[in-house]
Chains A and B, each alone.
Chain A
């Protein structure tokens, strides 16, 4: 790909690792949404 900087392999690994780490937050937030909200709404509405 034209002009993509060739980062050192070590840096590239480090970047991918951190990216995957952040992606974990994304997945966590998405899958906990349903049960978490059900419970919290029940609390807030007293229902």
Chain B
């Protein structure tokens, strides 16, 4: 911890520079946080649009709207845009906005690198979108049909769009690694004097753990897709059986990244809940230290369970047993987090403003997704469920409640801080109910479709699956539409509304509530005094 008494450039007490320069050259954590969030919202709509086409095609058996190639292309695009374009940048946006405020730092540790981390993203998104549309140009080659997992040999046979995709993933990886380094350094070096690590809010800890996970696994994905690139163009055979390589090697590399990635997606959101729960339960958070321990345990275990995605490829019995046991073990720290959150609410004087509504829904439905995860972790059971719609239902139940809703909850919770206005509670609650109910209509039936044998990643299906697919698609259209309401609420709040106090929520605690709403362009230029317990 260094006393960051910030000698400021002479342009005394300025606001932000005006116009496009403010954003292009920004080194300000709040502006960069805002850009991340706006970018994520745009990507959410793009990824959502492809999901709507997917569900429209699946409304009925037979091929109506899109041919199988395009279907697969859309599906790949949907997953990658949502994961890398929407959820990760939104979480990074929250980190940028909140971590310096929460730890009493004037800004991120490496402000110019922060600018770079963000501005790589639009370029990466462009590459990602190009990977989708290049095949429609003359000589553009075949469409991407691998899904987000990019397994060879299929990924070796796709045309140049795969190269665009690999390049996009490299850029996205660089962006998140740089952002993670920045977050780690900020948390270690920039805390207000006297603020000890163990006193940090759980959100900050969750991001610290996430940042370490990113730093550990993104380079491995980068290595994996580089090997793909070499196999595609430079005559190597890392993954080509005919050349002595092994396609299954790629699966191991991918999932060594891929499983920790799912924790990368949920940990920041689970951290958000730890801020929200005490505020609306009017009680201190239950088990601060054990939450930190649980998050570290999740991250550590999360790195050694990857092959539960590959039970069916023919691993040795010992390997399969190991991965099954380790995977089931993760439910212990996950359960502990859920337990602590419920204990925080226990006998609290609770009120249910929108962030809290989301929090309660998350605790219920994320746990449900966790339970289907344990089902999938059991090897003999997974032999049936693998590559079925059951898996699709599972990961949407963990990813929407676990990751996306936590981000929504955080946005509603901190929006008054960011904009200085209270959002429209009535509209926000309407959004919550439409969103959550239609989410369940969309994804709950998919469990049964999967159990009955409907495969995932397929554009057409047996007529016996028709009814549940229709229900799912109708749910999905309402689900998609609900996001327009979300957009409207955000725009409305940014433009005006009831003034928010510095402490926008009566019972909210944490340094972020000690600065004005909206905060000045620069905050904590003199670090806050930390009460020592």
Contact = CB atoms under 8 A, between A and B. Distances in A.
Interface of A: 1-8, 10-11, 14-16, 18-19, 22-23, 25-27, 29-31, 33-34, 37-38, 40-41, 43-47
A26 B215 contact: yes
B441 to A, nearest CB: 40
Nearest to B111: A4
Contact of A6 (B9, B182, B219, B253): B9
B83 to A, nearest CB: 20
Contacts of A30: 219-220, 222-223
Nearest to A25: B215
B476 to A, nearest CB: 38
B285 to A, nearest CB: 28
Contacts of A34: 223, 227, 238
A44 B27 contact: no
A7 B189 CA distance: 12
Given A26-B219, A45-B316, 6 more contacts: A1-B25, A1-B111, A3-B17, A3-B28, A25-B215, A40-B252
Contacts of B28: 3
Contact of A2 (B17, B185, B307): B17
Contacts, number: 123
Contacts of B109: 15, 18-19
A35 to B, nearest CB: 11
Q: Residue among A14, A25, A30, A43 with the most chain B CB within 10 A? A: A30
Given A5-B522, A34-B223, A14 B111 contact: no
A31 to B, nearest CB: 8
A43 B315 CA distance: 10
B224 A18 contact: no
Top-4 shortest CB links A-B: A33-B223, A30-B219, A29-B219, A44-B319
Given A2-B17, A3-B17, A14-B2, A29 B217 contact: yes
Contacts of B218: 26
A38 B424 CA distance: 55
A11 B2 contact: yes
B157 interface: no
Contacts of B92: none
Given A5-B6, A5-B106, A8-B7, A18 B248 contact: no
Contacts of B521: 3
A3 to B, nearest CB: 6
Contacts of B238: 34
B484 interface: no
A27 B189 CA distance: 22
Given A2-B17, A5-B111, A19 B249 contact: no
27 contacts: A1-B112, A2-B21, A3-B14, A3-B17, A3-B27, A4-B9, A4-B107, A5-B4, A5-B6, A5-B106, A6-B8, A7-B4, A7-B6, A11-B4, A15-B190, A18-B188, A18-B189, A22-B180, A22-B185, A25-B216, A26-B177, A26-B219, A29-B223, A33-B220, A34-B227, A44-B316, A45-B314
